[in-house]
Amino acid sequence: MTSGDKLFGRLLGRSSVQALNPPARIPDAGLHLHLDHQGHVVQVSNALRQQLAQHPTGDTRPLLRDMLHAGSALSIEGIPADWQRHSLDLDFHGADGNVLHSRGWVEPEGEGWLLRLLDISDLLTGRESARQREQSHQLACQMSEQLRVCSLTRLPQVFNEHLNSLAQRWRIPCVALALLDQQDQGWVVYSQYNAHDAPQLWQPGQRLGTSLDSLNGNTPLGLNVIQGLREHPRLHGLFADVDGFLVPYRDSQGVAAWLLCGLYQGQPGVSDRDWLNLTAALAAPLLDRLREQRHHQQLERLEALQGLLGTGWWELLPGCDEIHLAPQLMRSLSMEDAPNKQLLGDWLELIHPSDRQELNSRFQDLQNLGKPLLSNVRLQRQDTHQNPIWYRVQGQVLGAGDNRRWIGFMLDVSDVKNQQLQAAAAHARLDNLIASSPAVIYVQRYVNGALHPTFFSDSLLPLLGWTLAECIHVTAVEWIHPQDRDTYFERTRTLLREGSVRSRYRMRDKQGHYHWLLDEAKLLRDDLGLPVEAVGLWLDVTEATLAAQHVKESEERYRILVEDSPAMICRYRPDLTLTFGNTPLANYLECTPEQLAGVNLGQWLSDEQRSAFVKRISQLSPEFPVSTAEINLQLPGREHAWWVWSDRGVFDEQGQLQEIQAVGRDNTEVRRSQQQLTQSAKMATLGEMATGLAHEINQPLNVMRMAIANVLKRLSNGDVQEDYLTDKLQRIDAQVQRAARVVDHMRVFGRRSEVEQQPFDPAQAVEGTVSLLGEGLRGKGVDLRITAADFSVQVKGHADQLEQVLINLVVNARDALLGKREKNRDFQPWIALHCEHDSRHMRIWVEDNAGGIDARLLERIFEPFFTTKPIGVGTGLGLSVSYGIVQNMGGWLSVANGEQGARFCVELPVVGEG
């Protein structure tokens, strides 16, 4: 082959050029072009002549390259003599706008050349189809392989990537894959791809309904293009009236997936088979993986369900006396370390002895006779006091002959079985209770618009003397008192209309006496709402009814008694609004009894008193309806009034507080006397402390006197320094403040206490006691041991009164200690004071080493005017007043002898800081 031949081959677009010998004579088929030596077309002949768009006419002789398609025209260079012995692939402009693909050669003919051409369109189309099929097959294999090997978590992402690749490869603007939902109730879009310039036809998760079920699913169905839309009008909405087609995927269960292609303009060379293969490559692995995922999820759910139910499967192994147990069942039976396969006899040892023989017999019937196994058995437990563990054992035979298998399951039914046993016991107790109940339980059957008695409890006989047989043959109306029959008829109408009723009427017993019965009944209906029967009870309330009548008759006498009573009597609602007040109460409040109705009792109470009052009222109950307390009223223009107030709650049938009846007594004078006694005792205490307080004040005065004397001496000698004067003046100032604190505390301690109690820190009283008595005790040689409290709590009362109590206890201890030291000069006296508390109470202990109190006097120690001191030394009121102070604060003052002396304990309830 010459270099010229190679160049010509490259111009023709071929990588290699093969020299061809002129073929043998072929039939005159195809296309014949007669050319001159310059390549002009002189004549066109043969069968394909009519398919050319351009023909030589007359003197018009077009060049061959002018009749060719653009691609072929660029490949033809030179003259016909250069083309000889070469195969030519030429594309002509067709008559209908198509392209005519041809292949041929040139040969000399007379004074010109003859170009013989054959139509190779079918050959090229087949080659392109083969290439497309090969590409489709490769793409399908790649997609299928990647979908089968990817993880389940990445499966949606990988599938979406392949769907995008498919859409871009075949230029499909909108594509989606629809699958049947898990309930097979319709088609759902699993994944979709949408080109950026195309409308969105579908969305992931979109439900398509059952419209696709109307298609046969055998071949792709084009819409509009092949009249699919007209054949299936239900698909208009599915494709939003645009062109497209659907491709089904069919497996052993039928059509399992649809590939939806929207706005598709077509791609040459892609057959229906190619679309089916591509759809199968996408859908088959996806469905397998999804079914695999659902299978794993079902196994996980099954294992979790077995764990929750305490169940699992078992299988008797053929040819040996062994049983195979599920792992979950092994865990439920606490046999994790044992092998799954066990001898049947060993496994039966787990069963309670009373159920073991029966279960073994049923296993034998299952193996030998094929009889289904169903039994409830208990497990053997070490602790016999616990509820038994019940299992339902069930099994059956599968297969026949040598392929027989004996399988079943065990289910934990302990809760159900124990509940059944408890229900049976409760039912027996209920039967016994009904039989011995003072109430009569009855059942009336609804027949033809009337209620007829069908059952009465055994308590009917002792109550009314009638038997069940006697009651069934008569109507209850015959026993009703004539004056109460209208009430009974209304009771029946209300029961049938509203479904429940409560009424009271008189009924005659067998001896002719009438009893007042409280009738409570409920109507039972069927699923259609029609009456079936009425269940109710009769309760004999004769005594209560007669008592109520007696109370009603005595109501007037009661009212007269209330009005004439010297006590203050009233009634009020839970919100403290008065509904009634007698004349003494109205006189005390300077108004008339009529003006009391509607007045709120809380307007005369402080906020704290009102809060405590409401709290106390809220604690009343039908079991404990009475409460007594002392309340403080702030009456306009008058001093504080103290009442001893007693309340009784009135409750309805449901136990709800409806009203409170109260009786009050004026305790103001007694209260004032107690306050005066407390104040007198306080002043007496100050008098007893006078010597110690004088020492407490003289001590700083002596210090100041000595400092002034030293300063004056320095001034007379002329030896005065500024630092020296400053130090002396600061010492004098400190002593002045010390004396002032003592005087201020004496003034505060000597005041009258506030009217109402307030929350305070008991540490204040301890500190006040130490400040008043500490120096005096040390001056007398008494060691005061204070244990500092490491906590802060609140108690309710008066800080100065608690301080008065502690001062009384410390002073009494001091006097006892000093008396003992007069007899024994080597005696070392001490007084200990420390605090402790828990969640409800705090305690202050005052202890000494004076030897204690005579056991015969301990019971009288808190009596008024009782004292062990000489006449004229003590009043005998200190401990009595202290006891009353602590008691008014809600606490308790007690005494006992310790190892070395008396131990007094002040115990007070702890309150919140608010």
Residue 669 has pLDDT above 90, yes or no: no
DSSP string, 663-725: EEEE-HHHHHHHHHHHHHHHHHHHHHTHHHHHHHHHHHHHHHHHHHHHHHHHHHHT---HHHH
Total Cβ atoms within 10 A of residue 105:
19
Return the pLDDT at 30: 80
Residue 834 has pLDDT above 60, yes or no: yes
CA-nearest of 888, 885, 908, 756 to 808 is: 885
Average pLDDT over residues 800-818: 85
Query: Where does the pLDDT of residue 225 fall: very low under 50, low under 70, confident under 90, or very high at 90 and above?
Result: very low
Return the pLDDT at 11: 33
The percentage of residues in the chain with a pLDDT greater than 90, rounded to a whole number, is 8
Q: What is the pLDDT of residues 73-84, one digit of tens each?
A: 666 788 888 888
Return the pLDDT at 779: 77
Average pLDDT over residues 365-380: 89
Of the two residues 684 and 442, the one the predictor is more confident about is 442
Average pLDDT over residues 513-530: 91
Which of 337-351, 690-704, 723-737 is predicted with the least confidence, judged by mean pLDDT? 690-704
Whether residue 202 contacts residue 196, with contact meaning beta carbons closer than 8 Å, is answered with no
Q: How many CA atoms lie within 13 A of 567 on its CB side?
A: 13
Return the pLDDT at 230: 43
Strand partners, 216: none
Whether residue 398 contacts residue 405, with contact meaning beta carbons closer than 8 Å, is answered with yes
Angle, alpha carbons 116-118-120 (nearest 5°): 150
Residue 718 has pLDDT above 80, yes or no: no
Return the pLDDT at 1: 39
Query: In one letter, which amino acid is 130?
Result: A
Q: What is the pLDDT of residues 120-171, one digit of tens each?
A: 877 777 776 777 777 777 888 888 888 888 888 888 898 998 888 888 888 8
CA-nearest of 693, 706, 712, 568 to 631 is: 568
Query: In one letter, which amino acid is 107?
Result: E
Residue 273 has pLDDT above 90, yes or no: no
Domains along the sequence of the chain with CATH = 3-119 (3.30.450), 129-297 (3.30.450.40), 310-420 (3.30.450.20), 437-548 (3.30.450.20), 554-666 (3.30.450.20), 676-911 (3.30.565.10)
Alpha-carbon distance of 435 to 459, in angstroms, equals 6
Return the pLDDT at 688: 57
Query: Where does the pLDDT of residue 823 fall: very low under 50, low under 70, confident under 90, or very high at 90 and above?
Result: confident
Alpha-carbon distance of 693 to 700, in angstroms, equals 12
Spacing of C-alpha 861 from chain mean position: 60
Whether residue 642 contacts residue 630, with contact meaning beta carbons closer than 8 Å, is answered with yes
Query: Where does the pLDDT of residue 830 fall: very low under 50, low under 70, confident under 90, or very high at 90 and above?
Result: very high
CA-nearest of 239, 191, 192, 231 to 215 is: 231
Average pLDDT over residues 362-371: 88
* Three-class secondary structure assignment of 566-626: CCEEEEECCCCEEEEECHHHHHHCCCCHHHHCCCEHHHHCCHHHHHHHHHHHHCCCCCCCE
Return the pLDDT at 594: 84
Of the two residues 246 and 847, the one the predictor is more confident about is 847
Q: Tokens 């809380």: give the residue.
A: 602
Of the two residues 510 and 26, the one the predictor is more confident about is 510
Return the pLDDT at 457: 83
Query: Where does the pLDDT of residue 17 fall: very low under 50, low under 70, confident under 90, or very high at 90 and above?
Result: very low
Which of 182-196, 551-565, 792-806 is predicted with the least confidence, judged by mean pLDDT? 551-565
Return the pLDDT at 24: 47
Round the average pLDDT of the chain to a whole number and report it: 79
Average pLDDT over residues 64-71: 77
Residue 801 has pLDDT above 50, yes or no: yes
Residue 870 has pLDDT above 60, yes or no: no
Element (H, E) at 131: helix 121-149
Alpha-carbon distance of 158 to 287, in angstroms, equals 14
Provide the angle, in degrees to the nearest 10, between the axes of the packed helices 722-749 and 799-823. 110
Whether residue 313 contacts residue 407, with contact meaning beta carbons closer than 8 Å, is answered with yes
Alpha-carbon distance of 805 to 784, in angstroms, equals 17
Return the pLDDT at 522: 94
Spacing of C-alpha 156 from chain mean position: 33
Q: What is the pLDDT of residues 98-109, one digit of tens each?
A: 788 888 889 898
Return the pLDDT at 475: 64
Return the pLDDT at 885: 82
Whether residue 882 contacts residue 678, with contact meaning beta carbons closer than 8 Å, is answered with no
Torsion of Cα atoms, 878 then 879 then 885 then 890, to 10°: 170
Query: In one letter, which amino acid is 632?
Result: N
Return the pLDDT at 14: 36
Return the pLDDT at 368: 86
Query: Where does the pLDDT of residue 226 fall: very low under 50, low under 70, confident under 90, or very high at 90 and above?
Result: very low
Residue 503 has pLDDT above 90, yes or no: yes
Return the pLDDT at 846: 92
Return the pLDDT at 534: 92
Average pLDDT over residues 569-598: 85
Alpha-carbon distance of 458 to 466, in angstroms, equals 10
Which of 88-97, 662-671, 892-901 is predicted with the least confidence, judged by mean pLDDT? 662-671
Residue 292 has pLDDT above 60, yes or no: yes
Element (H, E) at 468: helix 468-472
Q: Tokens 């653009």: give the residue.
A: 70
Query: Where does the pLDDT of residue 490 fall: very low under 50, low under 70, confident under 90, or very high at 90 and above?
Result: very high
Residue 258 has pLDDT above 70, yes or no: yes
Return the pLDDT at 296: 83
Of the two residues 369 and 302, the one the predictor is more confident about is 369
Return the pLDDT at 176: 92
Alpha-carbon distance of 51 to 159, in angstroms, equals 47
Q: How many CA atoms lie within 13 A of 621 on its CB side?
A: 3
Of the two residues 136 and 766, the one the predictor is more confident about is 766
Return the pLDDT at 40: 86
Q: What is the pLDDT of residues 872-896, one digit of tens each?
A: 455 556 777 788 888 888 898 998 8
Ranges of H-type helices in 310-413: 327-332, 344-348, 353-369
CA-nearest of 534, 526, 469 to 495 is: 534
CA-CA-CA-CA torsion sign (125, 130, 134, 136): positive
DSSP state of 278: H
Residue 460 has pLDDT above 60, yes or no: yes
Return the pLDDT at 146: 85
Residue 500 has pLDDT above 90, yes or no: yes
